[in-house]
A and B are shown apart, each in its own frame.
Chain A
């Protein structure tokens, strides 16, 4: 058992435990803060998978951006609406939970298959055999930048247009009504 493996198991346990707490707790604000722990543990797992850029991006976008915005929404909403959410009865078997259950079931099938058959995709085997693997210390940012500007330029631009539309929409919604 080397130190990387120990770290992996610690972070995996933290991620799963905090995710369970996030899903189960009645205290909404605490669940947001526990979600922060989940995201951080996930970032650690990305680092172990040598995807350090993804890890740091996850911290910037989710922790620095999305979580803070969620908290903003909480702080702007009144105590009554937060209490109402706390009193809600939650049953696991519920029509509203159908999409979540379906998704969880599908993921479970995928995971079960992958573990059961111990399948490595063909391209993984090919890459390992030809030695095209990432080693610790490889600088990958240049690669990411070049790929974003060449191979994946269309999705990149499409996402930026989508964000632009969202910005214009929110600016329109928050504008004061003009008196005619």
Chain B
């Protein structure tokens, strides 16, 4: 029975992590946006306003959850939960360090890809259930955008999987460091199995994956509905899109899902392309930096740092690039990213056959 108790603890721990991350993610977002726009951001609550988001969530919990009279009550109340649970379930397959993964499933990547797509359904549910034209428009835009961008993201992921030859996220992570059991050839010719560090990351093992990573990153911005792809909640046109009618705790769930999603997609990007929990420091001759900085504790440290860096880039992009129009969005997905993804996949095949 101890077995099941561990499961519960891990599940609660991941939920706690998502919640804490969302709180500080919102704070970081406000501070970064303030820096970019030459403002100060929150300053009043706590030192440098660091307690601002905690005060916000306390306020939100106390607020009444208002259900519009014309709304479909069940769909309206369930939608935020489905949106969040879809993202939260994705965390089940994420490896945090060597041998440290909540659920070791051999099709982990495919599972995460599948479970994320459930979020679209939740958004449509919110849009329909609110019975509000802005919500409905936002939900439809969101679904169209997510479905379109799943295709380039899928091709970018496939080109990395073709190099790694596995769908198990832990196996993919293992291959990109000194713990690898197979031979690693950086750039296709330089044997770096013992060197490790940054030279055994997937983007160095097969440099065309840098392009695939950029494709994946752009697509992941679109899938988490962040600017420059935030037309589903474009506040200047649609009030705030599919979550216009939400208040109090339901609204908090939508926000929680958005930040958890940012972390999740960044983490997938890190695992597939940027060496997962492996250290960026290589072994240089006698200085065994890579061997020294590989382990469970270090693994958690590295993957968190890398993922937070990517989340930071997401925020940076949000506050610097203006919103895309719908037609520009579709042009980018279908005419630029999808063909590029195809080319990456082709190169991956050739690379795997001839250079590895």
| Chain B interface SS verdict (over half) | helix
Could you tell me the distance between the alpha carbons of A25 and B105 in the complex, rounded to whole angstroms?
37
Contact with B along A26-69 (1 / 0, CB 8 A): 00011001001000000000000000110011011001110110
Q: Is the CB of A30 within 8 A of B74?
A: yes
Q: Is the CB of A30 within 8 A of B118?
A: no
A-B interface contact total, Cβ < 8 Å:
66
In the assembled complex, A72 has its CB within 8 A of some CB on chain B:
yes
Closest to B154 in A: A60
Could you tell me the distance between the alpha carbons of A64 and B115 in the complex, rounded to whole angstroms?
9
- A residues contacting the other copy or chain, number (CB 8 A): 22
Q: Which residues of A contact B150 (CB under 8 A)?
A: 64
Could you tell me the distance between the alpha carbons of A57 and B111 in the complex, rounded to whole angstroms?
9
Among B34-42, B121-129, B185-193, B195-203, the stretch that binds chain A is: B121-129
Closest to B109 in A: A56
How close is B306's CB to chain A, nearest CB, in angstroms? 26
Could you tell me the distance between the alpha carbons of A52 and B150 in the complex, rounded to whole angstroms?
21
Which of A29, A30, A141 is close to B107, meaning CB atoms less than 8 Å apart?
A: A141
B90-128 interface (Cβ within 8 A of A): 105-107, 110-111, 113-115, 117-118, 120-121, 124-125, 127-128
Which of A33, A52, A59 is close to B115, meaning CB atoms less than 8 Å apart?
A: A59
Contact with A along B114-148 (1 / 0, CB 8 A): 11011011001101100000001001100100010
In the assembled complex, A167 has its CB within 8 A of some CB on chain B:
no
In the assembled complex, B72 has its CB within 8 A of some CB on chain A:
yes
Which of A29, A36, A53, A60 is close to B128, meaning CB atoms less than 8 Å apart?
A: A29
Could you tell me the distance between the alpha carbons of A57 and B110 in the complex, rounded to whole angstroms?
8
Contact with B along A69-93 (1 / 0, CB 8 A): 0011011000000000000000000
Contact with A along B72-83 (1 / 0, CB 8 A): 101100000000
Interface CB pairs A-B, < 8 A, 25: A29-B72, A29-B75, A29-B128, A30-B74, A33-B75, A33-B121, A36-B121, A52-B106, A52-B107, A56-B107, A56-B114, A57-B110, A59-B115, A60-B110, A60-B113, A60-B114, A63-B114, A64-B114, A64-B120, A65-B117, A68-B124, A68-B143, A68-B147, A75-B128, A141-B167
List residues of B whose CB falls within 8 A of some A CB.
Answer: 72, 74-75, 105-107, 110-111, 113-115, 117-118, 120-121, 124-125, 127-128, 136, 139-140, 143, 147, 150, 167
